[in-house]
């Protein structure tokens, strides 16, 4: 058996986090190193390593992550806009090998990112 990812440990409540939302499929919690006034990570409970590991079987789950992002954005008062981002791989900025959606808001986002 492999070790749990950091995000699995948070979802299992082995590590404390400021959890804003959870259900049977995912958990949403504040990032400990925020890049915006609101920076929430939405993480599936299934330890999918990255976008590159998604299959057609994950379509519903990925859609659910975006629906949760919309709900959390509303509860966080992000009525003027927000950004939802997946990073994939080292050069894409992914630091934890567990698929996660970044919800960022509370300030003007720049373009292009990165």
Tell me the pLDDT band of 2, cut-offs 50, 70 and 90. Answer: low
Q: What pLDDT is attached to residue 1? A: 47
Phi (first) and psi of residue 19, to 5 degrees: -85, 125
Catalytic hit among 39, 53, 58, 100: 100
Predicted confidence (pLDDT) per residue in 18-59, tens digit: 999 999 999 999 999 999 999 999 999 999 999 999 999 999
Q: Write the DSSP string, 55-93.
A: -GGGHHHHHHHHHHHHHHHHHTT-TT-EEEEE--STTTT
Cross-strand pairs, 43: 27
pLDDT at 11 over 50: yes
Q: What is the number of alpha carbons within 13 Å of residue 70 lying toward its C-beta?
A: 5
Catalytic status, residue 100: yes
Task: Identify whether 73 is preceded by a cis peptide bond (ω within 30 of 0).
Answer: no
* pTM for the predicted model, two decimal places: 0.94
DSSP state of 26: E
pLDDT digits 0-9 by tens, 58-108: 999 999 999 999 999 999 999 999 999 999 999 999 999 999 999 999 999
Domains of the chain listed by start with CATH number:
6-105 (3.30.428.10)
Mean pLDDT confidence for 2-13: 92
């Amino acid at each position: 058996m492999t070790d749990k990812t950091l995000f699995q440990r948070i979802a299992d409540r082995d590590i404390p986090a400021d959890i804003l939302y959870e259900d049977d499929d995912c958990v949403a919690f504040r990032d400990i190193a925020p890049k915006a006034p609101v920076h929430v990570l939405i993480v599936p409970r299934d330890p999918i390593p990255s976008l590159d590991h998604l299959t057609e079987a994950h379509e519903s789950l990925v859609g659910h992550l975006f629906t949760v992002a919309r709900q959390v954005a509303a509860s966080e008062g992000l009525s003027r806009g927000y950004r939802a981002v997946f990073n994939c791989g080292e050069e894409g900025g992914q630091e934890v090998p567990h698929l996660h959606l970044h919800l960022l808001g509370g300030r003007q986002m720049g373009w292009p990112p990165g």
